[in-house]
Chains A and B, each alone.
Chain A
Amino acid sequence: DVKVTQSSRYLVKRTGEKVFLECVQDMDHENMFWYRQDPGLGLRLIYFSYDVKMKEKGDIPEGYSVSREKKERFSLILESASTNQTSMYLCASRGTGQSSYEQYFGPGTRLTVT
């Protein structure tokens, strides 16, 4: 079974703090994604990575950065957390090639910034 894990299920941080969200997948997938999910807006792509040390901006990258130093791990960084970054954050991974079109999601991290 593919497994995507995230470092925390719930996180409470203060405004201005630096926040690290970690995601690990065990299927040797090339592609990894960070989304945020807000009521009425659905899932929106923040960043994705198609290989180690490679990253691409998604639809809403402002206020976020990412790091992919190892294939299995993709980190999302909030340099200076703000209240409008309170959200559910979901990581996903996906292989490449004809047989690997499905995205596998982690359980999500519900981040509250106060």
Chain B
Amino acid sequence: KNEVEQSPQNLTAQEGEFITINCSYSVGISALHWLQQHPGGGIVSLFMLSSGKKKHGRLIATINIQEKHSSLHITASHPRDSAVYICAVDRTGNQFYFGTGTSLTVIP
């Protein structure tokens, strides 16, 4: 059983396109996180959300608590956005549960 589902698993886009990655979860959470992992392994945190919407540069993250759904949008995508994007939910304040990730490739 996977408490966190992401879609799509793989995504290829042309440079400049608007991209959406979706995350659905089935449990109560205190927060939802979007993470980015570049080739080579390192993971960095992009957003932490408990309600509403956050924006950082070309990245926008939204969450609908009632629907148990979050989206990560990338506007004007660029090849340097190519990475794996991971949705994680924070249940207990101590442990995360992770989606399997969305592998994004942006072609010039």
Contact = CB atoms under 8 A, between A and B. Distances in A.
B98 A107 contact: no
Contact of A110 (B31, B41, B48): B41
B17 to A, nearest CB: 25
A43 interface: yes
A75 interface: no
Q: A interface, how many residues as a size bin? A: 20 to 34
Contacts of B41: 9, 88, 90, 107-108, 110
A107 B42 contact: yes
B76 interface: no
Contacts of A107: 40-42
Q: B interface, how many residues as a size bin? A: 20 to 34
Nearest to B94: A31
B90 interface: yes
Given A42-B99, A101-B90, A102-B48, A90 B43 contact: yes
B54 to A, nearest CB: 13
Nearest to B4: A42
A15 interface: no
Interface of B: 30-31, 33, 40-45, 48, 86, 88, 90, 93-96, 98-101
Interface of A: 9, 31, 33, 40-45, 48, 50, 58, 88, 90, 92, 94, 96, 101-108, 110
- Closest 8 A/B residue pairs (Cβ): A108-B41, A42-B100, A105-B43, A43-B98, A42-B98, A107-B42, A102-B45, A101-B31
